Amino acid sequence: MDQIATPQIPVTVLTGFLGAGKTTLLNRILTERHGKRYAVIVNEFGETGIDNDLVVNADEEVFEMNNGCICCTVRGDLIRILGGLMKRADRLDAIIVETTGLADPAPVAQTFFVDQEVAERTRLDAIVTVADAVHLAGQLGEHHEAEEQIAFADVVLLNKTDLVGDADLSGVEARIRRINPYAKIIRTARCDTPLDAVLGLNAFSLERVLAVEPDFLTSDHDHEHDEDVTSLSLTSDAPLDLAAFQTWFGRLLQTRGQDILRSKGILNFAGEADRYVFQGVHMLMDGAPMGSWPEGAPRVSRLVFIGRNLDGMGLREGFEACRAA
Ligand X SMILES: Nc1nc2c(ncn2[C@@H]2O[C@H](COP(=O)(O)OP(=O)(O)OP(=O)(O)O)[C@@H](O)[C@H]2O)c(=O)[nH]1
- Per-residue binding string, ligand X, 30-69, x by CB under 6 A, is ---------------------x------------------
Q: Is the Cβ–Cβ distance between 174 and 222 less than 8 Å?
A: no
230 bridge partner residues:
307
Residue whose CB is less far from ligand X, 117 or 286 = 286
H/E segment holding residue 23: helix 22-31
DSSP type of residue 143: -
CA 13 – CA 104 distance, rounded (Å): 11
Residue 10 C-alpha from the chain's centroid: 19
Residue 262 engages ligand X in binding (rule: CB under 6 A)? yes
Least distance to ligand X, CB of residue 189, Å: 4
Max CA pair span of the chain: 77
Residue 14 engages ligand X in binding (rule: CB under 6 A)? no
Residue 263 engages ligand X in binding (rule: CB under 6 A)? no
| Helices of type H across 47-134 | 50-54, 75-86, 105-114, 116-121
CA 127 – CA 181 distance, rounded (Å): 15
Residue 281 engages ligand X in binding (rule: CB under 6 A)? yes
Q: How many CA atoms lie within 13 A of 187 on its CB side?
A: 15
Q: Which residue among 9, 11, 13, 18 contacts ligand X (CB under 6 A)?
A: 18
- Per-residue binding string, ligand X, 289-318, x by CB under 6 A, is ------------------------------
Residue 78 engages ligand X in binding (rule: CB under 6 A)? no
Least distance to ligand X, CB of residue 218, Å: 29
Q: Is the Cβ–Cβ distance between 260 and 280 less than 8 Å?
A: yes
Q: Which residue among 61, 226, 286, 320 contacts ligand X (CB under 6 A)?
A: 286
Q: Which residue among 55, 58, 89, 189 contacts ligand X (CB under 6 A)?
A: 189
Q: Which residue among 263, 268, 279, 301 contacts ligand X (CB under 6 A)?
A: 279
How do beta strands 38-43 and 61-65 pair?
parallel
Q: Which residue among 61, 120, 162, 226 contacts ligand X (CB under 6 A)?
A: 162
Residues 6+ apart with CB under 8 A from 42: 26, 51, 52, 55, 62, 63, 64, 65, 98
CA 43 – CA 283 distance, rounded (Å): 24
Residue 24 engages ligand X in binding (rule: CB under 6 A)? yes
Binding residues for ligand X, how many (CB under 6 A)?
A: 21
H/E segment holding residue 167: helix 166-179
CA 160 – CA 133 distance, rounded (Å): 6
Q: Which residue among 9, 10, 12, 22 contacts ligand X (CB under 6 A)?
A: 22
Query: Rule CB under 6 A: which of 197-226 touch ligand X?
Result: none
Residue whose CB is less far from ligand X, 81 or 136 = 136
Q: Which residue is nearest to ligand X (CB)?
A: 101
- Per-residue binding string, ligand X, 96-135, x by CB under 6 A, is -----x----------------------------x-----
Least distance to ligand X, CB of residue 244, Å: 21
Residues 6+ apart with CB under 8 A from 294: none
Residues 6+ apart with CB under 8 A from 28: 190, 191, 192, 193, 195
Least distance to ligand X, CB of residue 210, Å: 28
Least distance to ligand X, CB of residue 108, Å: 15
List of residues contacting ligand X (CB under 6 A): 16, 18-24, 51, 101, 130, 159-160, 162-163, 189-190, 262, 279, 281, 286
